[in-house]
Amino acid sequence: MPAERLQKIIAAAGVASRRKAEEMIVSGRVQVNGQVVTELGSKADPEQDHIRVDGKLLQGPERYTYVVLNKPKGYVTTVSDEKKRPTVMDLVQKVKGRVYPVGRLDWASEGLLLMTNDGALANALMKAASNVAKTYVVKVAGQPDEAKLDKLRRGVSIAEKGGRRVRTAPAKIRLIREGDNPWLEVTIIEGRNRQVRKMFEEVGHHVEKIRRVQYGPLALDVPPGDWRNLTLLEVAKLKTAALGSKVAKPPARPHS
C-alpha cells in the first residue's frame, strides 16, 4: 500500500477530523514507529507502520469480510445457543475476522448462508423491502396440484410470531422432480421466519427438506459445511441488489 499523509490515515481510522489530526501532529501527539512526528507533510504506510496517537496504537479502517457458507442440517443460525446446539459459528472458525450470519436458516434447513461483518450491507439485505430474491429447492410430502401451486404463486396468508397474519409476496414455483414427494424450486423476495415451510403448510403440504441454492447474485457452489470468501465482483453485485429496493418497488397487488 502506498504511503499516505499522516492526517489522512488518522482521519480514516476515525480518531479525529483531518483538521484536528493536523493539530495533533503539530503538537507532538503522534508517533510513527516510536518516533514523534511533527511535520505536516509526513507520510506513513498504514499497513506496515506502527502509528500511535497519544500513545494509543492506531487500528486501521475496518476491513470487511464476506463469506458464503453451505449450512448443513443440524446447525442453528445464531452466534450462541442456550440449548448448546451446534451453531454456524462453529463452521467458520478459520475465517479471518469475526463474521455474523445475514438472516437465518432454521435448524433443519440447509444451504447458502451469507456471513459478514459489514453491518450496513447486512441491514440493507435484511430489510423486508430489499426484494433480494432467494431460491430454495424443496421436497414436500404429497403432490400439490396446480391450483395449490397457483395459490402459492399469487401469495398466501401465513402466521407470524405472535399470531399476526401476513400475506406473502408473489412467488415463483416450478416442479423439478416428480414423485409422491416431489421436489420444487421456489423463489421468494422476502425472508420471513420459516416462510417457505409455512406457505406449503397453508396449502396442506409438509416440507420434508429445504435447501437454499441462491441468494441474490450468489449461487451455492461449496460442499456442505464448507465456506469460501466472496469475490470483489460478488460483493459489488450484492450491494447493488441491496440498493435495488430504492429504485425497484414490488408491483402493486390488485385489490381482490
Asked if pLDDT for residue 244 goes beyond 60, the answer is yes
Residue 234, classified by CB atoms within 10 Å of its CB into exposed (0-12), middle (13-18) or buried (19+), is: middle
Q: What integer pLDDT is reported at residue 128 of this predicted model? A: 65
The residue from 106, 145, 180, 226 that is catalytic is 106
Mean pLDDT of 96-118: 91
- pLDDT tens-place string over residues 147-199: 999 999 999 999 988 889 999 999 999 999 999 999 999 999 988 889 999 99
Q: What integer pLDDT is reported at residue 61 of this predicted model? A: 58
What CATH number belongs to 66-230+238-245?
A: 3.30.2350.10
Percent of the chain clearing pLDDT 70 (strictly above): 93
Mean pLDDT of 202-220: 96
Asked if pLDDT for residue 113 goes beyond 80, the answer is yes
Query: Is residue 145 among the annotated active site residues?
Result: no
Is 4-57 in CATH node 3.40.50.620? no
Mean pLDDT of 115-139: 88
Asked if pLDDT for residue 89 goes beyond 80, the answer is yes
Among 191, 74, 63, residue whose Cα is nearest residue 136: 191
Domain boundary assignment for the chain = 4-57, 66-230+238-245
